[in-house]
Amino acid sequence: MASQKFTDDELICAFQDIKSPTLIAKKFNCDVRQIYHRRRNIEAKLGVELKAGSIRSVIHEQLDNHPAVKQIEIKDGVVLIGSDAHYWPNIITTAHRGFVHFCDGLKPKVVIMNGDVCDFATISRFPPIGWESRPSVIQEIETCQDRLEEIVQAAPKGAAFIWTLGNHDGRLETKLASCAPEFAKVSGVHLKDHFPRWTPAWMAMINNDVVVKHRFKGGIHAPHNNVIQSGKSMVTGHLHSLKVVPWSDYNGTRWGIDCGTLAEPYGPQFQDYTEINPVSWRSGFIVLTFKDGKLLMPEMVLKYDNDHMEFRGGIVKV
C-alpha cells in the first residue's frame, strides 16, 4: 500500500501531538526513515526543532491520563500492600491482624488492597461443589466493610486508600450487568458504592517506576515474567505465593513481587476446589519503602504462627 501524502504543516502538528516518530510513521503509513528525513528538512528550512519522544514516553502520557490508573508520587515513605484477602464471615486471619498492626506501626502514606478483597462465591461462574456452604453476597459485603474499616482506622490520618480490583471483585458487577443491564449507574450496583473510602483502579503507578495491579502473567514464574515484560518493578497478587524476585540489567535492578494472601491457604474459601491438596501459598503482605523517590528492596511480612508475623529477622505479635 502506498504511503499517505502529508504536508510539512501536518508533520509539524503530528510532532506536537504524537511526538513519537514511530507512531507518526504509522499514522501516515510510511517508513519511519521518511519521517526522520522530512523532519531534518523542515528543521533546516524553518530553523525550528521538532522534538521527538519515545514510544515509552507516549505510553506514559497515556497512562497518566487513564481513568483506570491511579498515579502516586512518594519521595520518602512506606506503601503497604495486601492482596487476596477473600474475606469470609466470622474469620479474622492472622495476616489480616498483622496488616492492621503494620498500618498502625509503619504509618504508611498509601495502603493498597491489590485485588480479591471479596470472594463472591455464590455468584461465581463456577458451579458449587456438592452442597458446600457459601456466604451470601450481602454477608460478604458487610464482612469486607468491617475488615477494610479496621485497616482505615489503624492507618495514619491523611493516608490514601487504593483498591486495585481483582477478578473475584469483578464478579459483583459482572453478574448484575449480565442479568440486569438496565440498572447501570444506579447507586448500589457498583462495588465502589459500598466502599466510599477506597479509590478503585485497575492499576496503581508509583513514581512512574512501580506498577501495582492484581495480575499480569500467570504460573509459578509470574513475578519474573512480569518484571521482564513490563520493564518496571511490578507488584501483583492472584497467585497467593508471597515472594520477591529481582531482575538486573543495564537499567539497574527491578523487582517482581507477589503479595501472597491475607487469607489462610487452607481456609474455607479454597478447601473444596483445591481438594485440600498442598498449595505453595503463603499468608502475608508486602512493605515498599521509598527513599528520595527510589524503591528500596521490597520486604515481605510472613505469617509465623497464629499470633505472630515474621519481619526483618524478628517475630512480631499481632
pLDDT at 3: 59
pLDDT at 57: 60
pLDDT at 1: 46
pLDDT in tens, 99-109: 999 999 999 99
Q: What gap in Å lies between CA 82 and CA 303, rounded to an integer? A: 13
Tens of pLDDT along the chain (318 residues)?
Answer: 455 688 998 999 888 887 788 888 888 899 888 998 899 899 898 888 887 766 556 566 667 678 899 999 999 999 999 999 999 999 999 999 999 999 999 999 999 999 999 999 999 888 888 888 899 999 999 999 999 999 999 999 999 999 999 999 999 999 999 999 999 889 999 999 999 999 999 999 999 999 999 999 999 999 999 999 999 999 999 999 999 999 999 989 999 999 999 999 999 999 988 999 999 999 999 999 999 999 999 999 999 999 999 999 999 999
Among 86, 125, 16, which residue's Cα sits nearest to residue 261? 86
Locate 266 and state its grid cell.
487452607
Mapping DSSP to helix (H, G, I), strand (E, B) and coil, where does residue 138 land?
helix
Q: Is 0.85 surpassed by the pTM of this model?
A: no
pLDDT at 48: 84
pLDDT at 131: 81
The number of beta carbons lying within 10 Å of the beta carbon of residue 198 is 21
pLDDT at 54: 60
Q: Based on C-alpha coordinates, what's the Rg of the chain?
A: 23
Among 91, 109, 127, which residue's Cα sits nearest to residue 207? 109
For 224, half-sphere exposure in the C-beta direction (CA atoms, 13 angstrom radius) is 3
E strand residue ranges, 213-317 = 233-236, 243-249, 252-258, 284-291, 294-295, 299-305, 308-311, 314-317
Among 206, 208, 207, 203, which residue's Cα sits nearest to residue 57? 208
